[in-house]
């Protein structure tokens, strides 16, 4: 089913308000999900609506959170989200970080006691639109075998980075520290498609192309991805006094409890290190240089990070977004959720 971005946004928002979110919070969550679907990142779009709606309805996402924000140093702060909607907390936390970085050059804002916040590139883009550089990292539940291991310990623990360029353009990448994000496996399940054998392993530790057989994901580039996911867990979990490693809460185990997750935004104002003009010109030159590189066989063009996603988003404004029919039927149905996730294994959810 093809929907305009605004139609998709409204359908998702309707579910979240029915589940119990305020109009303001439902609008933000739907905006983050629509951002992902418009860019072709369907793993973090409408495929997540039923899960969020079930957790909201069962109390695992606080619909009336008491937010608190404390500046803990000249350039640092902690935002306690009271287990509200993670998308809302991450967006508000980035707004605080942007204000601090504009005034002080650097901002490090930790957000704690929050739920899943979706595509991190949404939040780094907030900063890039204000002429700032941003890094965002967050925890996720244990789904990954560490390099050389046979049992899950860390999550997919993503990292996003953005830097502003000319004419509203930006370099913006958002990556899991696994070969592929878990949401990509969910998307493959919803589309009844196989996955590449490099993404995940089954219960015996063997590579699998069946998304329903996945029992663990694997780190990107072996020990390098393993090191990155450990770094993310320390920055967004340990440093905020939250559960870490295999103690990070499951996405599906109990949807009536808050997830107590952590996320960290690092925002830098380039004007405290060089001139704004030089920085923007250098990013523009980087984009131009990369676009001018001779493509390898099988490729039409070399793109800078975020360029392909931005092109898809521009196309979506005109041509709409393709949504799996089953998900569309759920979005237009009277059901808030269909008990698809609670008390299930992460890999069966």
Q: Is position 9 annotated as part of the catalytic site?
A: no
Determine which one of 25, 42, 87, 116 is catalytic.
116
Asked if 2 and 321 count as a contact pair (C-beta separation under 8 A), the reply is: yes
Q: In three state form, how does the secondary structure of the chain look?
A: CEECHHHHHHHHHHHHHHHCCCHHHHHHHHHHHHHHHHCCCHHHCHHHHHHHHHHHHCCCCCCCCCCEEEEEECCEEEEEEEEECHHHHHHHHHHHHHHHHHHHCEEEEEEEEECCCCCCHHHHHHHHCCCCEEEEEECCCCCECCCCCCCCCECCCCEEEEEECHHHCEEEEEECCECCCHHHHHHHHHCCCCCCCCCEECCCCCECCCHHHCCEECECCCHHHHHHHHHHHHHHCHHHCCCCHHHCCCCCCCCCCCCCEEEEEEEECHHHCCCHHHHHHHHHHHHHHHHCCCCCCCCCCCCCCCHHHHHHHHHHHHHCEECCHHHHHHHHCCCCCCCCCCCCCCCCC
Q: Which two tokens stand for residue 250?
A: 């499951």
CA–CA–CA angle 35, 38, 40 (5° rounding):
110
d(CA 87, CA 122): 9
By annotation, the residues acting in catalysis are: 116
């Amino acid at each position: 089913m093809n929907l305009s971005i605004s139609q998709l946004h409204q359908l998702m928002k309707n579910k979240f308000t029915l589940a119990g979110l305020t109009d303001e919070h439902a609008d933000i969550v739907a905006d983050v999900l629509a951002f992902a679907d418009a860019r072709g990142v369907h793993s973090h779009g409408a495929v997540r609506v039923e899960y969020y709606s079930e957790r909201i309805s069962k109390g695992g996402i606080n619909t009336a959170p008491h937010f608190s924000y404390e500046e803990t140093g000249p350039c640092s702060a902690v935002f306690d989200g009271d287990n509200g909607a993670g998308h809302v907390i991450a967006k508000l936390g980035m707004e605080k970080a942007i204000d601090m970085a504009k005034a002080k050059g650097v901002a490090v804002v930790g957000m704690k006691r929050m739920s899943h916040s979706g595509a991190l590139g949404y939040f780094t883009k907030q900063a890039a639109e204000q002429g700032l550089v941003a890094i965002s990292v967050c925890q996720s539940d244990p789904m990954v075998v560490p390099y050389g291991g046979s049992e899950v310990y860390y999550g997919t623990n993503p990292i996003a980075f953005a830097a502003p360029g000319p004419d509203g353009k930006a370099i913006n990448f958002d990556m899991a520290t696994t070969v592929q994000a878990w949401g990509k496996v969910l998307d493959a399940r919803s589309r009844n498609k196989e996955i590449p054998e490099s993404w995940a392993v089954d219960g015996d530790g063997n590579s699998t192309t069946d998304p329903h057989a996945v029992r663990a994901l694997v780190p990107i580039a072996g020990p390098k991805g393993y090191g990155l996911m450990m770094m993310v867990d320390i920055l967004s979990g340990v440093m905020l006094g939250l559960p870490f490693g295999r103690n990070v809460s499951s996405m599906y185990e109990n949807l009536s409890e808050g997830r107590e997750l952590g996320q960290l935004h690092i925002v830098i104002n380039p004007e405290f290190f060089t001139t704004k003009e030089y920085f923007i010109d250098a990013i523009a030159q980087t984009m131009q240089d990369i676009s001018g590189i001779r493509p390898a066989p099988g490729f039409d063009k070399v793109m800078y990070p975020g360029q392909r996603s931005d092109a898809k988003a521009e196309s979506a404004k005109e041509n709409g977004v393709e949504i799996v029919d089953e998900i569309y039927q759920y979005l237009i149905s009277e059901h808030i959720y269909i008990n698809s996730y609670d008390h299930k294994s992460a890999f069966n959810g």
